[in-house]
Amino acid sequence: MSSEAGMVEGGVLPWRSLRAAMALPARFIGVGAINTAVGLSLIQLGLWLGLGDYPANAFGYAGGFGCSYLLHRRVTFRADNGDHGRQLPRFAAAAALAYALNLLVVAGGQRLGLGGTIVPHIAATGVYAVAFYWLSRRFVFPDTGNEGADQDWPAQVEAAVQSRWLAAVLVFAAMLPMAFVATPPLVDAAGHMGRWIVQVDGGASPILRQWYDFKWGLLGNLGCDLLAQALIPVIGPEAALRAIVAMILGVQVLGVLALSRAVHGRIAPTAFFALPFVFGYPFQYGFLNFLLGEGFALLALALWIVMGRNGQARLRPWVFAVIGFGLWLAHTLALALFLIGAFCASVARATEGERLTIPVLWRAGLPLLPAVVLPLLAMVNAPHGASEPFAYDHMIAKVIYPFRALRDAWMLWDVVSIGLVSLAIYWFARGGRFAHDRGLVGFAVVLLAIYLVMPNTIQESQYADMRLVPLLFMLPLIAARPLEANGRAFAAGLAVVGLLFTGARWAGNGIAMAQRATEFAKALSVLDALPVGTNLVTFYPLRCEPRVTWNFDRRDHISGYALSRRIVFDSRQWQMSAGQLLRVHNSAAVPYDYERQIAVFDVPCGDKPGIHQAFAQLGPGIDRVWVIGVWSGLSFPGWQPYVTAGDSVLFRRSPAEGRANAR
């Protein structure tokens, strides 16, 4: 067998062959990018002019038709010597058919509640492009523009799927939204940033020192905190937050692809269906340390499997004695996920030729013991205080969380996406056309059992069970691979569908994020009027009778930006005896000096205070309050609003109230 043939069989075509295979698609994409920019610009113009979805869509594609024909004829397919009389009608027919598919997607978008936005038009553009490329190459310009290209399209797709370039593109695409949002609109993200500022300051600022203490110690929840310690002095806190969120997304994507390659020897097309979950429900909440740790855990599991397959079983425990400590340092659950996954992978490998017995389980688990030695020693010396070890508060939510695994902005689109993924998992498991990695299947089963019995709050950390839900979908998808008997066309088609699905999901996630970032910017605009060093209390009142909103408000901890921009007191910081190193000492703000897991509501709600009661409890040391989510007509005796931006309002004590307090 030649070396080149061996590379092809191993799943990686040489770069030269890949470059030749992708020359024509690359030209098509380049020309399509120009046409897409023109078309989408005209569509957006039509929407702004009030044309509606269908007229705006037609306006965009009609305006780009002439440009599309000339550029594709001359640049993409190099058919400028051909017959216009034959090519132009065929080009029009191909465009019409692709456009009909485009309209179907727009109609589907309207049914999903996305009418009047650019989202369905972006998805429709992708469908149009794929259909139009195939028709143009096979029907309009069948005998031109293919110099040096491999006519076997499944081989071209396989080359692209296995190339490092596609992995790099996917990692870059996942990270890209952070380049376009000034404020990542994730619930907890700004709160993390506020803690990082105090941490990096190290007590140097007299303003921060009067309210906060931060003492370093070993804790299984420091992944992003350590990154922030390195980044903030160089690029500042808000840029560091964006960089860390981008890194989390990239590490998660890389973890999925690396694990698929580790268990199958190549990236299986089924793994692409797992990629949308990197923007899932836990990400929207901004569980940054956990998500970073989860991505590292997937990478560590991939390395564990590869080292075992390569005969490095003796070296592996020593390597993972260090890696295990790093995973625990990022997040305790990251180490737990790795240990469960590695144990299941080792058991699956050990039972390939024998029954499952106690000695087999012992031999599978023994090499993992070094990975827990350093974390156990660190936990013994960790700065723990008294805390509730766990709580079962929302058990019914375990049934609901799987339906919310992709929850973002549009309920129908997110639920339909979960439905499609669930059908894909069922097909992969029961269709008879797929093989499965037994280790990952076992990992998924064990993780499901843990999810069903684990508490929702562990060491004061809420939503502990919800964080596992995306993995319950991702693992079966990564575990599956199409059988070779199906043929290369089947695998290639599955890869294209998976990438299109991921692209559609990520496009929606990016657009929703940009829209929410605009809402953040409007709410934050009031901070310009806030004096530096203000002893500020921030309220985010909930509704006692909640309104069911799928696209929930992410501004719960937005006050972290007030600390960043105006060096003020942030009353929404967490103080957790077992999960944070930050301590708050601001008696003037008591009982609202830190996030006590006791919410403030619009009206008294059970034993929880209403917003008017909360204002009345504020002592004279607090003369400014920031309220997020103000509803019309909200007012408080002795306080007056002085800066308003939508439902974001800064209040200050009225002069008469201030004089009375002085007396």
User: Does 10 score more than 50 pLDDT?
Assistant: no
Q: Is residue 187 part of a domain?
A: no
CA 142 to chain centre: 41
Are 548 and 649 contained in the same domain? yes
Residue 150 pLDDT grade (very low, low, confident, very high; cuts 50, 70, 90): very low
First to last CA, the chain: 94
Dihedral over alpha carbons 322, 326, 328, 330 (to 10 degrees): 180
Q: Are 102 and 43 in contact (CB under 8 A)?
A: no
Are 571 and 498 contained in the same domain? no
Are 401 and 545 contained in the same domain? no
Q: Is residue 520 part of a domain?
A: no
- Of the three residues 511, 542, 561, the one that is the final residue of a domain is 511
Q: Is residue 605 part of a domain?
A: yes
Distance (Å, whole) CA 640 – CA 622: 14
Are 536 and 494 contained in the same domain? no
Are 17 and 86 contained in the same domain? yes
Tell me the HSE value of 571 on the side-chain side, using a 13 A CA sphere.
Answer: 24
Q: Are 481 and 270 in contact (CB under 8 A)?
A: yes
Residue 5 pLDDT grade (very low, low, confident, very high; cuts 50, 70, 90): very low
- Per-residue pLDDT, averaged over 110-132, amounts to 73
Closest CA to 501 of 79, 126, 6: 126
Q: Is the dihedral of CA 337, 343, 347, 349 positive or negative?
A: positive
Distance (Å, whole) CA 648 – CA 561: 14
Residue 290 pLDDT grade (very low, low, confident, very high; cuts 50, 70, 90): very high
> Which amino acid makes up residue 445?
V
pLDDT (0 to 100) of residue 11: 40
CA 221 to chain centre: 19
Integer-rounded Cα radius of gyration of the chain:
28
Domain span at residue 17?
A: 3-151
Are 506 and 534 contained in the same domain? no
pLDDT (0 to 100) of residue 663: 47
Are 290 and 318 contained in the same domain? yes
Residue 19 pLDDT grade (very low, low, confident, very high; cuts 50, 70, 90): low
Residue 84 pLDDT grade (very low, low, confident, very high; cuts 50, 70, 90): confident
Structural domain total, the chain: 3
Beta strands in 135-268 (DSSP E): 212-214
pLDDT tens-place string over residues 566-590: 999 999 999 887 678 899 999 999 9
Weakest-pLDDT range from 262-266, 296-300, 601-605:
601-605
Beta strands in 166-294 (DSSP E): 212-214
Better-scored residue on pLDDT, 18 or 199? 199
The H or E element spanning position 554 is none
| Beta strands at 536-539 and 624-628: parallel, antiparallel or unpaired | parallel
458 class by beta-carbon count within 10 Å (0-12 exposed, 13-18 middle, 19+ buried): buried
Better-scored residue on pLDDT, 589 or 69? 589
- Per-residue pLDDT, averaged over 26-32, amounts to 73
Beta strands in 501-602 (DSSP E): 536-539, 582-584
Residue 225 pLDDT grade (very low, low, confident, very high; cuts 50, 70, 90): very high
Distance (Å, whole) CA 342 – CA 650: 52
Q: Is residue 545 part of a domain?
A: yes
Q: Is residue 165 part of a domain?
A: no
Q: Is residue 540 part of a domain?
A: yes
Are 545 and 492 contained in the same domain? no
The H or E element spanning position 155 is helix 153-162
Better-scored residue on pLDDT, 334 or 352? 334
Q: Are 650 and 616 in contact (CB under 8 A)?
A: no
Q: Is residue 494 part of a domain?
A: yes
- Of the three residues 511, 543, 560, the one that is the final residue of a domain is 511
How many of the other CB atoms lie within 10 Å of CB of 385? Answer: 9
pLDDT tens-place string over residues 296-314: 999 999 999 999 989 888 8
In 3-state terms, what secondary structure has residue 638?
coil
Distance (Å, whole) CA 651 – CA 622: 11
Are 432 and 575 contained in the same domain? no
- Per-residue pLDDT, averaged over 7-33, amounts to 57
pLDDT (0 to 100) of residue 656: 61
Are 496 and 541 contained in the same domain? no
User: Does 20 score more than 70 pLDDT?
Assistant: no
Distance (Å, whole) CA 411 – CA 84: 47
Are 343 and 228 contained in the same domain? yes
Are 539 and 589 contained in the same domain? yes
Better-scored residue on pLDDT, 597 or 184? 184
Q: What is the mean pLDDT of the chain?
A: 85
Closest CA to 483 of 432, 427, 425: 432
DSSP symbol at 619: -
Q: Read off φ and ψ for residue 212, nearest 5 degrees.
A: -130, 150
Q: Is residue 657 part of a domain?
A: yes
